[in-house]
Amino acid sequence: QPLVFSGMQPTNTLHLGNYLGALKNWVKLQDKMPCIYCVVDMHAITAVGYGKPEELRTAVREVAAAYIAAGVDPSRSVLFAQSAVPAHAELAWIFNCVARLGWADRMTQFKEKAGKHKERASVGLYTYPMLMAADILVYKATHVPVGEDQKQHLELTRDVAQKFNNDFNVPDFFPLTEPVIMGAGTRVMSLRDGSKKMSKSDDSDMSRINLTDDADAVAQKIRKARTDPNPLPEDEKGLEGRPEADNLINIFAALSDTSKAEVVARFAGQQFSGFKNELADLAVAKIAPIATRMRELLTDPVELDRILKDGAEKAAAIAAPVIAEAKKIVGFSH
Ligand code: AQP
């Protein structure tokens, strides 16, 4: 049965990349299939979320509020915090034993996040993809809407499912999950450097548009966004070798639900100043209502906690038969 699963880490405020790459599509998918959306707090403690319990607790509510403010409807979709459903951790352990070291060694996100001093990274950061595979497969989810940066982790999820099914001779027990990477915003780049993805953990706040930024901040960040000295190109081919221009056009296309070609045609040969003003207006129009709604939701943390608890109960009920069966298959039956 088709089922959607996805999640985000409560490590910082969500940004435009998270919204265009994932969240916007989550909202759309609710009309097509049952959806489970998770705030992945266990992933958060693999790196920057570690050692800050109060911040983590607050960030979980903020991310849940962002999901709802963007259009995730908790009466239709299951919305919960990962750590509230222990089946994720149980299956992750089994998957740590299914996956091979060589697979984990290939993960580019680990290399990027661990940086130069890989021996100082947590073991959790290294095994992160196996926990992610468990997040998805503990619900036997078939579709995972994410940004392009998660493609490699989803390939590993398929490899884990396939190896488990083969090793234990249980064909089709775990489905081979499909990544859903759609729209123009699948890879939004930093506003300061067109070769880096927009990221929560970038030191420069000017590199990203946060979902909580007010109109002035959004306009200022877009006005100051790096560009090259040339005017906008006459056609899409003219974007080659111009990553910053390409990124801004892409953001415009994603926010307005059009294609890059249409945006290029509309602003062909114009200066960036006018284009940036229009882009700022568009971004404010799309983002400001989300920020306002988020603030409203955060005035009632008790209600947010109630939604998360209710979601955790539903999620646990869906996961229960899958984890029970998986444990039996492995030989844990006492
Ligand atoms: N720049 C981006 N463009 C498009 N999609 C993006 N996503 C993240 N950055 C971009 C998508 O948002 C979801 C969030 O996943 P996450 O919370 O696990 O964060 P992440 O992938 O590690 O990226 P972040 O949000 O920038 O955090 P840091 O700075 O910690 O790396 C995923 O679906 C992701 O594809």
Q: For the chain, list residues with pLDDT below 50.
A: none
| ipTM here | 0.96
Q: Which atom of ligand 1 is found nearest the CA of 197?
A: 1
End-to-end CA distance of the chain: 30
- Asked if residue 186 has its Cβ within 6 Å of ligand 1, the reply is yes
Domain boundaries, given as residue ranges, for the chain: 4-186+300-330, 212-295
Sign, CA dihedral 191-192-196-201, equals: negative
Q: How far is the CA of 178 from the centre of ligand 1 (A)?
A: 18
Q: Which atom of ligand 1 is nearest to the CA of 10?
A: 17
Q: What is the pLDDT of residues 21-67, one digit of tens each?
A: 999 999 999 999 999 999 999 999 999 899 999 999 999 999 999 99
Q: Where are the alpha helices (DSSP H) in the chain?
A: 16-18, 24-29, 41-44, 53-70, 87-98, 101-105, 108-114, 123-137, 151-167, 215-223, 243-255, 260-267, 272-298, 301-330
Q: What is the pLDDT of residue 193?
A: 95
- What is the spatial distance between Cα 263 and Cα 276, in angstroms, rounded to a whole number? 12
- Rounded to 5 degrees, what angle do the CA atoms 72, 113, 174 make? 55
- Is 201 near ligand 1, meaning CB less than 6 Å away? yes
* Confidence at residue 183, expressed as pLDDT on a 0 to 100 scale: 82
pLDDT value, residue 333 = 81
Q: Is 178 helix (H, G, I), strand (E, B) or coil?
A: strand
Reading across the β-sheet that carries 178-180, which strands appear in turn? 78-81, 35-39, 4-8, 143-145, 178-180
Nearest CA to ligand 1 atom 23: 199
Binding residue ranges: 9-11, 17-18, 135, 147-149, 188, 197-201
Q: How far is CA 296 from the centre of its chain?
A: 23
Does the CB atom of residue 226 touch ligand 1 within 6 A?
A: no
Give me the active site residues, please.
113, 197, 200
Class of domain 212-295: mainly alpha
Q: Tell me how far the alpha carbon of residue 172 lies from the centroid of ligand 1, in angstroms.
A: 30
Q: Is 151 in the pocket of ligand 1 (CB under 6 A)?
A: no
Span 63-95, pLDDT tens digits:
999 999 999 999 999 999 999 999 999 999 999
Buried-state track 82-102, b at ≥16 Cβ within 10 A, e below 16:
bbbbebbebbbebbbebbeee
Ligand 1, atom nearest to 11 Cα: 30
- What is the predicted pLDDT for the residue at 185? 84
- The pLDDT assigned to 197 comes to 95
* pLDDT at position 319: 98
C-alpha to C-alpha distance for 245 and 96, rounded to whole angstroms:
42
Q: How far is the CA of 179 from the centre of ligand 1 (A)?
A: 14
Mutation choice for ligand 1 from 42, 192, 199, 248, CB with most ligand atoms inside 8 A: 199
What is 4-186+300-330's CATH number, 3.40.50.620, 3.40.50.460, 3.40.50.300, 3.40.190.10?
3.40.50.620
Q: Is the CB of 11 under 6 A from ligand 1?
A: yes
With the CA atoms of 88, 90, 91 and 96 taken in that order, what torsion angle do they form, in degrees rounded to the nearest 10?
110
Cα 106 from chain centroid (whole Å)? 20
Shortest-distance Cα residue to atom 14 of ligand 1: 8
Q: Is 150 in the pocket of ligand 1 (CB under 6 A)?
A: yes
Quick one: pLDDT at residue 12? 85
Q: Round to whole Å and give the CA distance between 75 and 10.
A: 22
